[in-house]
Amino acid sequence: DAGITQSPRHKVTETGTPVTLRCHQTENHRYMYWYRQDPGHGLRLIHYSYGVKDTDKGEVSDGYSVSRSKTEDFLLTLESATSSQTSVYFCAISDGRVRGSNQPQHFGDGTRLSIL
Amino acid sequence: GDSVTQMEGPVTLSEEAFLTINCTYTATGYPSLFWYVQYPGEGLQLLLKATKADDKGSNKGFEATYRKETTSFHLEKGSVQVSDSAVYFCALLTDSWGKLQFGAGTQVVVTP
């Protein structure tokens, strides 16, 4: 299994508070992704990164920001959490050594976030 | 834009039954197609993939064939086990950044 660790695994917080989720990988993969999983929607891409300090927005990026200061860490921040951001968040990585190489993504075990 | 449509679940089967999960897609160009599986409390795992038309992906008794003419990538297994109970996601990859477009997922429940 790919070495991906998400933390925390579970979190309950209140509306309006800032929240940061961490994804740590030991595979030295170049590409990292944050998805959210909601019933009826599958997984939807929030943000992705194709290298240190190189990030871009995905399909549902409003209300989220990311940072990647090291290859191994990709942080997702909810600046002011809202109840609509209650979800399960997954981090994924892919090799990306060759652009367009179609390497499949490997997923972490997820963070269950509840915003009351 | 690109999209993936899967049959809705849950799909409930008896052990040793035949399983089919339909997946169709809309995409420009020639996407790679994937099936992922998610067991309870876990992340997604790649089950199989196909990168061009008429390719057949297979793994653990599951198969799917990339049909360009019908824009489909249906997942099949001839004899399911209780351990196959999970949520199955069809996905397509169309760009060079590795971004995946997922279907909504299909829950499969296999009873003894």
Answer yes or no: is pLDDT of A113 > 80: yes
| A12-31 per-position pLDDT tens digit | 999 999 999 999 999 999 89
Answer yes or no: is pLDDT of A101 > 90: no
Question: 3-class SS at B80?
Answer: coil
SS3 content of chain B, % helix, strand, coil (to 5): 5, 55, 45
Answer yes or no: is pLDDT of A103 > 90: no
Share of chain B above pLDDT 70, in %: 100
Q: Can you read off the two tokens belonging to residue B78?
A: 């001839």
| A81-99 per-position pLDDT tens digit | 999 999 999 999 988 766 5
CA nearest to B87 within chain A: A42
Q: Provide mean pLDDT across the span B70-98.
A: 92
| A38-76 per-position pLDDT tens digit | 988 889 999 999 889 999 999 999 999 999 999 999 999
Measured between beta carbons, the chain A residues lying within 8 angstroms of B49 are: 104
**pLDDT in the model for residue A2:** 67
Measured between beta carbons, the chain B residues lying within 8 angstroms of A43 are: 44, 89, 100, 102
CB contact under 8 A, B104 and A40: yes
Chain A interface residues facing chain B, Cβ-Cβ under 8 Å? 4, 31, 33, 40-45, 48, 50, 56, 58, 90, 92, 94, 96, 99-100, 102-110
> Between A33, A42, A106, which is nearest B105 by CB?
A42
- Report the residue of B30, B39, B90, B97 to disrupt the A interface, i.e. the one with the largest count of A CBs within 10 Å: B97
Higher pLDDT, B75 or A51: B75
Q: Quick one: pLDDT band at residue A100, thresholds 50, 70, 90?
A: low
> Between A42, A99, A100, which is nearest B104 by CB?
A42
